[in-house]
Amino acid sequence: MADRADLDEARVAFLIAPSFDHIAVQWGIWRAGGIGVPLPMGSPASDVDYFVRDADASAVVCDAQYASMVAPIAKSAGAALFTTDDLLRAPVRQESESGDFPIDGARRATMVYTSGTTGRPKGVVATHANIAAQIESLVSAWEWSAADRTLLVLPLHHVHGIINVVCSALWCGATLEVLPRFDADATWDRIASGELTVFSAVPTIYHRLIQSWESATAEVQRGRSSGCGAVRLMMSGSAALPRQVLERWREISGHLLLERYGMTEVGMALSNPLHGERRPGFVGSPLPGVSIRLVDDRCEAAPDGQPGEVQLKGAGVFSEYWRRPDSTNEAFKNGWFLTGDIAIRENGAYRLLGRSSVDIIKSGGDKLSALEVEDVLRTHPAIAECAVVGVDDPEWGQCVCAAVETRAGCALSLAELREWAKPRLAPYKIPRDLMCVSKLPRNAMGKVIKPEVTAFFAPPAPPERQAP
């Protein structure tokens, strides 16, 4: 593979911590004509095996610390294995040092995995033209320039980190700093320096930054808040932003966070304005190059103030679900991408109401399939049946909760379940709450009624006040 002049859209999966090594590997794959397949950090071996096989990867690149886990997976799948040390410390071929590397925009560039209601994650394929359109839209709307400096605190297997931060910064020659993993104090140190001009994160990160600020001394608090004044733009996305987080952050930083809406399949589609009124709870209006419509249950245009499914068109919309032609066809209607998200439009701005499916959970900026988690939990020897739901949580947006029917004579605690799940599920997919029930609620067709399961985990209602 190393001797090929053009990888000809071969898939190269990579498990690399957020770093300049990660970025160099992605750009190297593109320049060599391959499709980059970034894998989620913290994935158990079973997930890595699934991604590598589903993508039919020709090669896998990983940090040295993951080589012992990845090596048998790559060997079994017939993929070549490289570590970042192998690739980035090797001599550069002479012909690669100074030439231009034109890339056909129609060629596939990335495959980012996203969960869906069918259970296992699907590979969302974007071409180079798709990616360029996504970047150009954000550079225009958010006025990125070479004078900007930003800090990456996000994972690089989501479009938020890939497109909104890394690609947007590099596209216009801005300065990019990278943290290998989010650290509240380290992030505050960079904000307090007064050197950052753009900052983007998920609600969970803002929640933790608020906690860090509140536990600091008064002097440190003043320095941190002062540093926020140098930032021209602070954004939040990938999950719904709780109102209390937005308001507390405004008190601390002086910034009303810019909320926007996007997804793996389209990059960013809607945004509150850089200049002008930002409406809390709204995700704004279409970004440059994006067309939107809301369609009700009768497949008719939803009028203002009435809910409808968000459907999108634009050059940034993905090209296909990898080797899933039926899923790809189902995702489009007359050229419109059917997002599955429900929203209303009020005075030209859009407000999201939630998913059309209850089986998609967003936790800490990660999107996961409840069905996938259920499939794993059902292999536990004490579990006869289960239902997984997302329950509203002020820190995580939603937290993963499981209601289970146990087998006769078996008992199960949350601690036991979480310990059992560690080698089988990514950390953000492991249930944070558990309820053992005698029988799950089902409808006449035998399907579990998810809203009733969610109600199991609702906080108890306050006692009624007695009339005097």
pTM: 0.83
- How is 231-288 classified by DSSP, letter by letter? -SEEEE-SS---HHHHHHHHHHHS---EEEEEETTTEEEEE--SSS---TT--BEEPT
At 467, is the pLDDT very low, low, confident or very high (cuts 50, 70, 90)?
Answer: very low
Q: How many CB atoms lie within 10 A of CB 420?
A: 19
The string of pLDDT tens digits covering residues 199-235 is: 999 988 999 999 999 999 999 999 999 999 999 999 9
* CB contact set of 433 (below 8 Å; sequence gap of 6+): 391, 399, 401, 402, 414, 457
At 98, is the pLDDT very low, low, confident or very high (cuts 50, 70, 90)?
Answer: very low
Domain ranges of the chain: 1-90, 360-456
3-state secondary structure of 360: strand
Tell me if 1-90 shares its fold with 360-456.
no
- Dist CA 216 CA 185 (whole Å): 10
Average per-residue pLDDT in the chain?
91
Ranges 188-192, 279-283, 456-460: which has the least confidence: 456-460
Q: Which CATH class is domain 1-90?
A: alpha beta
> Is 96's pLDDT higher than 70?
no
Token pair belonging to 69: 């886990």
Higher pLDDT, 357 or 120: 120
Contact 197, 232 (CB under 8 A): yes
CATH 3.30.300.30 corresponds to the domain 360-456: yes
Give the angle 67-367-417 at the CA atoms, nearest 5°: 70
Give, for 328, the enclosing helix (H) or strand (E).
Answer: helix 325-330
Q: State the maximum Cα–Cα separation within the chain, in Å, rounded to a whole number.
A: 88
> Is 99's pLDDT higher than 60?
no
